[in-house]
Amino acid sequence: MSRTRVVITGVAGVTPLANDIETTWRRLVAGESGIAPITLFDTTQYDSRIAGEVKDFNPEAYMPAKQARRMDRFTQFAVASAKMLLEDASLVISDDNAADIGIILGIGLGGLQTIETYHSKLLAGGPGKVSPFMIPMLISNMGPGQIAIMTGIKGPNVVTTTACASALHGIGSAFSEILLGRISGAVTGGVEATVTPLGVAGFTALKALSTHYNDRPQQASRPFDGERDGFVIGEGAGLLYIETLESAQRRGAKIYAELLGYGASDDAYHMTAPSGDGEGMARAMRNALKDAGIAPEAIGHINAHATSTKLNDATETKAIKAVFGAHAPKIKISATKSMTGHLLGASGGIETVFTALALHHQTVPGTINLTHPDPECDLDYTANGSEQASFEYAMCNSFGFGGTNASLVLKKWTD
């Protein structure tokens, strides 16, 4: 009995590179960086003063001003991206299909901005200064909740929260729901907005953020480079519309790529560090390959998690070698966080979009800032600019705090 085929028929998002996917992709392929000094708050006292901020974002371009004021920034990103997604997918929500479509998003931290704002108001003026909208604004599920309100989608409305693997687990969950026949399509991906005073302070305290490149922000995110000193925090959203092939063909939808396999695992090792041997990461990749029903040698491209931290990049390299063996050096690997920064819970969303577009355009995005190769990171990271290539299968990886790992396998769409 053949398995239901699931395809990607829409992509959208707001990113540090642009407020739409077409411009984001063009700038990504050109090797341009979206990382710059933080403007959202005063960073005078901070060791890390740079980020991948979403720039010139006007929520009122996507929703009424009154509605926007009652949303945290992450929810505004979600709603704006969903509006663009439905347009890209040429999907009209009606009474006939509303209950057969889900919204399953990955969100790592939710409304951190709202928590900080109202905590300050509480300290300054007492509990009477806390808005009745505070709780609805900060809870993570208000991202998909507001999308549902805006669009009328009535299927499963779910958030996955697994740190930096949140979005990939969300996409995997949506994929699984479709395979089980519970829904025929889903808005999925990830969203995050944690470039806030507390967010940056917290990750700085963990010694996780880059602090050596404040005067050279575009050089700060340097995955696999020997002079990397931590990740650069980012924000934004990356959404996809996935649906059964039958549904897509019935609608006459354009298809970017096929979603073929999903794998997940956990290291069971440490709160923040990956297991040094990469066994958990490798297991997620093997699970995705097994689910896709393909051999490791079929993979031509990987969008790596590649955070630009010392341990993570070296460990992911070990894991890729363990899974792919002699084929590993032949794989074109992209570290797109070198240009966007690390979007935390949203990273797997935008990076799955990039993987789908890489297959669609047969273009491997380059990795920037890899000028002093780390001897422990010795694979082909596409360091000399984006490349046209011919490949049928690609993988996207996301790994998060708590040792949680996720991988997806995508396939080039051919009629």
Assign 405 to helix, strand or coil: strand
- The first and second tokens of residue 61, run together, are 């371009």
What pLDDT does 273 receive? 87
Those residues with Cβ within 8 angstroms of residue 374's Cβ, 6 or more apart along the chain or in another chain:
224, 225, 226, 228, 313, 314
Query: Domains in the chain, please, with CATH?
Result: 6-251 (3.40.47.10), 263-412 (3.40.47.10)
Catalytic site includes residue 360: no
What letter does residue 33 receive in the DSSP assignment?
A: -
Catalytic site includes residue 164: yes
Going by C-alpha positions, the residue among 60, 73, 81 that lies closest to residue 199 is: 73
- The first and second tokens of residue 253, run together, are 């939808």
Cα separation, 322 vs 47, whole angstroms: 36
Catalytic site includes residue 361: no
Going by C-alpha positions, the residue among 365, 382, 364 that lies closest to residue 373 is: 382
Amino acid (1-letter code) at residue 79: V
Which of the residues 169, 342, 360, 396 is marked catalytic? 342
Amino acid (1-letter code) at residue 115: I
SS3 content of the chain, % helix, strand, coil (to 5): 40, 20, 40
Amino acid (1-letter code) at residue 354: F
Q: What is the CA radius of gyration of the chain?
A: 20
Is 371 exposed, middle or buried (CB count within 10 Å of its CB: 0-12, 13-18, 19+)?
A: exposed
What pLDDT does 2 receive? 79
Instruction: List per-residue pLDDT tens for the chain, 415 residues long.
Output: 579 999 999 999 999 999 999 999 999 999 999 999 999 999 999 999 999 999 999 999 999 999 999 999 999 999 999 999 999 999 999 999 999 999 999 999 999 999 999 999 999 999 999 999 999 999 999 999 999 999 999 999 999 999 999 999 999 999 999 999 999 999 999 999 999 999 999 999 999 999 999 999 999 999 999 999 999 999 999 999 999 999 999 999 999 999 999 999 999 999 888 888 999 999 999 999 999 999 999 999 999 999 999 999 999 999 999 999 999 999 999 999 999 999 999 999 999 999 999 999 999 999 999 999 999 999 999 999 999 999 999 999 999 999 999 999 999 999 7
Those residues with Cβ within 8 angstroms of residue 58's Cβ, 6 or more apart along the chain or in another chain:
none
Which of the residues 119, 169, 301, 305 is marked catalytic? 305
